[in-house]
Each structure stands twice: as structure tokens, then as C-alpha cells.
């Protein structure tokens, strides 16, 4: 018999175990959500996302920076409802493709608050961004400059700098090191600055950096800011995203206040106090505000115990791509002592969502929850094995609403001709 536990910080703010030991997110009972909307499902605690947006804005003001924009990196959760919520909170939006730009405009972002990224953009993609009136286009390579010149664009731009620093994270999500596919190294930046200044219509507002993702140490950010400082003096600096989150209870990333304090402190010291500063958090705005609910379909006792659920690598690719570790619980029986692997339903052995989970005697029909699935979950969802993608459900004050419906098997052939 499991003993109810208080909830760890990996779960959404405001979620709890009720007196029966059942998980409640945004005031909604997880078991009832599963019954009403089916599984798998992404369950979003709306107030969690709002309070993280406010925490970023408050922390920047508290650090003594008045001219700033917190720019949501839409790639982390490119869902109109999530983006619309952040637009309401006064954030800007970072988009990395014409598709994300389309969503950002649909979600209600002021085009002037949109920052456009990309390392391999065609003329049409850049022309679309210019025509939409986006605030900033981030130049990643010399070809971008040629294209914007050919388009005769009237556009404010930033140049993305690869500062040559490496933070501690998975190599697939490290971007600040020399020879990254993103941005220009310091000597090429100097050439790019001259080149942009020679193009009528382009206004060079400043520099951009994004050194990587899921980072726990502010040190590499400080080192990168020092590199930017050596490249000239500009009115605008975009310091990128990258703050790491806790996927497991044992992880203690810096708080938003600690992270922002370190970043703004370094910017004031190195870049000056009266610059406009942008930051582009993705993961840290959305990861912990979301849980995924699954149904346990099978429990197999082999050498290990294998708990099979009705989703997997089609709704969360991160364990397979980055060896990302998650926690799992049975939604109405937290705790327990059954050591097992939680696997998805897909036809490959790599489809393991949580290795060495400890659950309370899992059995078919149980609702299993994995916390901290808001970032890059829905974003990288796919239809492997013809599995329809889950809905997105917003919960607030005990009320639940579907903001993205579940995909159907008919959706799998809507593009057939
Ligand atoms: N700005 C730029 C230019 C970026 O490329 C990214 C993330 C961000 C901001 C937001 O970074 P964040 O605050 O989320 O760390 N699929 C991977 C993550 C890829 C990150 C790509 N760029 C994952 O699931 O871990």
C-alpha cells in the first residue's frame, strides 16, 4: 500500500495530491480528465505558464533592466493556445520557420514583437517575414544578407554570434561552441557587420546569441556575453534561451531569478546599462506546467518488469533523442516499490519513456502520469506506427478545455490525393 506523498517541484505549480491521494492539476482530477478526454493527453496547468511568464518579467525588472522583451521560443510548444496565452502576458515570440511565424501571427502576437530565426532559409521564407512586418530578423549566415539585399528589404536585423563557448548539456542541443551549424564565429561577425551596414534598407540593431539548451550553469552565458562585448557597441542584444528545468526531483536548476540576475548582471557589466535586452526562453516557460497522462495497457514480468502504455515516442521523443530522464507515477497511487521500465506502444526497443521507474503495483487500466512534458513534447510529436497525436487540455480552477483536439485515424490520410 503506497503512502501519499507531497508533490515534487517537477509537477505543475498548484498541482497536488488530494485527500484520496489522486493527482490534481489546475484544480482538475487527473483520473477524471483521462476518463473524459481519453489518453494519452497533454494536460496543461494554465496558471503555471502564466506565473512563469510573470516571473521572467519580474526578475528582469528586479535586476534593474527596464528596456527588455521576454521572447517565447515557440519551438518548445508551438500550439496556438499556448502562444496566445504568452501573447496575452505581454511576451514576444521567437519563430524558427514560416510555419511558426504563421502560428505566432494567428496567436495574436504583435508582428513587431516577433524575432525570426533560421540557419537555412530560402528567399520566400525571408520575404514572408519581411512582409509580415516582424520586428527583427536574425542573420545566421552571409547568404541571408545576400537574400535580404536582393529582396530590397527594409528591415531591422540582428547578427547571430557563435561565441565559442560550450555549456554542459547534451551535444545535440549545444549551439555556442566553435563550428556550430548556427551563427557566425567572431571573425566572420566582423565581416557580416560591415556587409550589413553596406546594404541600404537593413538596419543593424545588434547581436544575438543562443549557446544551448537545458543549461544549469550561468558561467558559459557570462563568457559568451564577454565575447559579444568585444564585437562592437549596439543598442540591442538578444541573449537567447537555454535555462534548464528539473525533469527529476533530484535536479535543482537555477531559479528564474538566479538565472536572470546572472545574465542581466553580466550584460550590465559588459554591454552597458542602457541597452535593450531580449531573452528567448522556451523550455523553462513550458516544461513543468504540463503532464502527460497515459493508460497502462500491459504489465510484463521478464527479467525486468515492463509497463506498456498507450503512447510513447510519438508523443515524447526526448528520451530516445537525448537520453532524457523522466519520472512516472500512477496518478491515483503515488509512490510504491515496483521497479519497472515504462515503455511506449511503438515497434522498436528504443521506445522506453522511463527506465527504472518505481510505481505502486502497476496494472492494466491504471492512469500513469509523466511530469514535465511541456517542452518539446507536443512540439516533436509524430505519427510513427500510425499513432494519432494526443490532445492538449488546458486546466484552470477546476475547469478543463480542449485547445487541440486528439488526432484521428482519418487525419492520417487527409493529405492523400
Ligand atoms: N533561441 C534559439 C535561437 C533557440 O534555438 C532555442 C532552442 C531557444 C531560444 C530556446 O531554448 P530553451 O530555452 O528552450 O532552452 N528539442 C530539444 C531542444 C532544442 C532547442 C532548440 N533551440 C529538446 O527537446 O531538448
Per-residue pLDDT of the chain (417 residues; tens, 9 = 90+): 444 456 999 999 999 999 999 999 999 999 999 999 999 999 999 999 999 999 999 999 999 999 999 999 999 999 999 999 999 999 999 999 999 999 999 999 999 999 999 999 999 999 999 999 999 999 999 999 999 999 999 999 999 999 998 888 888 888 888 888 999 999 999 999 999 999 999 999 999 999 999 999 999 999 999 999 999 999 999 999 999 999 999 999 999 999 999 999 999 999 999 999 999 999 999 999 999 999 999 999 999 999 999 999 999 999 999 999 999 999 999 999 999 999 999 999 999 999 999 999 999 999 999 999 999 999 999 999 999 999 999 999 999 999 999 999 999 999 999
CA of 215, closest atom in ligand 1: 15
The C-alpha cell at 22 is: 489522486
Residue 398 region by backbone torsions, left for phi larger than 0, else alpha for psi between -120 and 50, else beta: left
Give the burial class of 337: count Cβ atoms within 10 A of its Cβ; 0-12 exposed, 13-18 middle, 19 or more buried: exposed
Specify the pLDDT at position 77: 98
Q: What is the pTM of this model?
A: 0.97
β-partners of residue 329 are 369
Specify the pLDDT at position 177: 85
How many alpha carbons fall within 13 Å on the CB side of residue 243? Answer: 26
Q: How many CB atoms lie within 10 A of CB 98?
A: 19
Q: What is the helix (H) or strand (E) element at residue 88, kind and residue range?
A: helix 80-88
- Alpha carbon of 374 to those of 81, 370, 379: distances in Å? 13, 10, 9
From 283, 289, 317, 326, the mutation candidate for ligand 1 (largest count of ligand atoms within 8 A of CB) is: 283
Specify the pLDDT at position 337: 98
**Ligand 1 neighbourhood includes 78 CB (under 6 angstroms):** no
Distance from residue 65's CA to the centre of ligand 1 (Å):
24
**Ligand 1 neighbourhood includes 127 CB (under 6 angstroms):** no
Listed residue (197, 105, 127, 209) closest to 166, CA to CA: 209
**Distance in angstroms (rounded) separating the CA atoms of residues 298 and 83:** 36
The C-alpha cell at 322 is: 537525448
Phi first, then psi: give them for residue 395, nearest 5 degrees: -120, 135
Q: How many CB atoms lie within 10 A of CB 348?
A: 12
- Alpha carbon of 190 to those of 161, 179, 193, 366: distances in Å? 10, 17, 5, 59
Length reported for the chain: 417
Listed residue (315, 319, 327) closest to 370, CA to CA: 327
β-partners of residue 291 are 43, 371
To the nearest 10°, report the CA torsion of 42, 59, 245, 361. -60
Listed residue (238, 200, 217) closest to 67, CA to CA: 238
Listed residue (392, 384, 371, 390) closest to 325, CA to CA: 371
From 241, 313, 323, 373, the mutation candidate for ligand 1 (largest count of ligand atoms within 8 A of CB) is: 241
Listed residue (214, 227, 189, 207) closest to 115, CA to CA: 207
Please report where in the chains the cell 533523442 appears, as a residue: 321
Catalytic amino acids?
347
**Distance in angstroms (rounded) separating the CA atoms of residues 288 and 383:** 24
Amino acid at each position: 500500500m503506497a503512502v501519499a506523498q507531497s508533490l515534487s517541484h517537477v509537477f505543475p505549480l498548484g498541482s497536488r495530491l488530494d485527500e484520496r491521494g489522486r493527482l490534481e492539476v489546475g484544480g482538475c482530477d487527473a483520473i477524471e480528465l483521462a476518463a473524459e478526454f481519453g489518453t494519452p493527453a497533454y494536460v496543461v496547468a494554465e496558471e503555471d505558464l502564466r506565473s512563469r511568464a510573470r516571473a521572467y518579467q519580474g526578475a528582469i525588472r528586479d535586476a534593474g533592466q527596464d528596456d527588455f522583451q521576454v521572447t517565447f521560443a515557440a519551438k518548445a510548444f508551438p500550439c496556438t493556445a499556448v502562444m496566445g496565452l504568452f501573447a496575452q502576458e505581454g511576451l514576444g515570440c521567437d519563430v524558427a520557420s514560416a510555419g511558426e511565424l504563421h502560428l505566432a501571427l494567428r496567436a495574436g502576437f504583435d508582428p513587431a514583437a516577433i524575432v525570426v530565426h533560421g540557419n537555412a532559409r530560402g528567399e520566400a521564407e525571408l520575404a514572408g517575414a519581411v512582409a509580415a512586418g516582424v520586428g527583427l530578423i536574425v542573420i545566421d549566415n552571409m547568404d541571408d544578407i545576400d537574400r535580404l539585399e536582393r529582396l530590397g528589404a527594409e528591415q531591422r536585423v540582428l547578427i547571430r554570434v557563435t561565441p565559442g563557448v560550450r555549456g554542459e548539456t547534451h551535444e545535440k542541443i549545444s549551439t555556442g561552441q566553435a563550428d556550430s551549424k548556427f551563427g557566425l564565429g567572431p571573425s566572420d561577425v566582423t565581416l557580416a557587420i560591415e556587409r550589413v551596414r553596406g546594404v541600404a534598407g537593413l538596419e543593424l540593431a545588434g547581436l544575438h546569441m543562443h549557446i544551448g539548451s537545458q543549461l544549469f550553469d550561468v558561467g558559459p552565458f557570462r563568457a559568451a556575453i564577454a565575447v559579444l562585448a568585444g564585437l562592437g557597441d549596439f543598442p540591442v542584444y538578444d541573449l537567447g534561451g537555454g535555462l534548464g528545468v528539473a525533469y527529476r526531483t533530484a535536479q535543482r536548476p537555477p531559479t528564474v531569478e538566479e538565472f536572470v540576475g546572472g545574465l542581466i548582471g553580466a550584460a550590465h557589466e559588459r554591454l552597458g546599462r542602457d541597452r535593450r535586452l531580449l531573452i528567448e526562453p522556451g523550455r523553462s516557460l513550458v516544461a513543468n506546467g504540463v503532464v502527460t497522462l497515459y493508460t497502462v495497457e500491459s504489465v510484463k514480468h521478464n527479467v525486468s518488469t515492463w509497463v506498456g502504455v498507450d503512447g510513447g515516442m510519438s508523443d515524447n521523443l526526448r528520451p530516445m533523442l537525448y537520453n532524457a530522464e523522466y519520472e512516472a507515477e500512477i496518478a491515483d497511487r503515488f509512490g510504491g516499490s515496483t521497479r519497472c521500465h515504462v515503455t511506449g506502444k511503438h515497434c522498436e526497443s528504443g521506445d522506453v519513456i522511463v527506465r527504472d521507474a518505481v510505481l505502486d503495483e502497476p496494472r492494466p487500466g491504471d492512469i500513469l502520469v509523466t511530469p514535465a512534458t511541456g517542452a518539446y513534447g507536443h512540439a516533436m510529436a509524430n505519427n510513427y506506427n500510425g499513432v494519432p497525436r494526443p490532445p492538449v487540455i488546458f486546466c484552470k480552477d477546476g475547469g478543463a478545455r480542449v485547445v487541440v483536439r486528439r488526432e484521428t485515424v482519418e487525419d492520417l490520410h487527409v493529405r492523400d490525393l
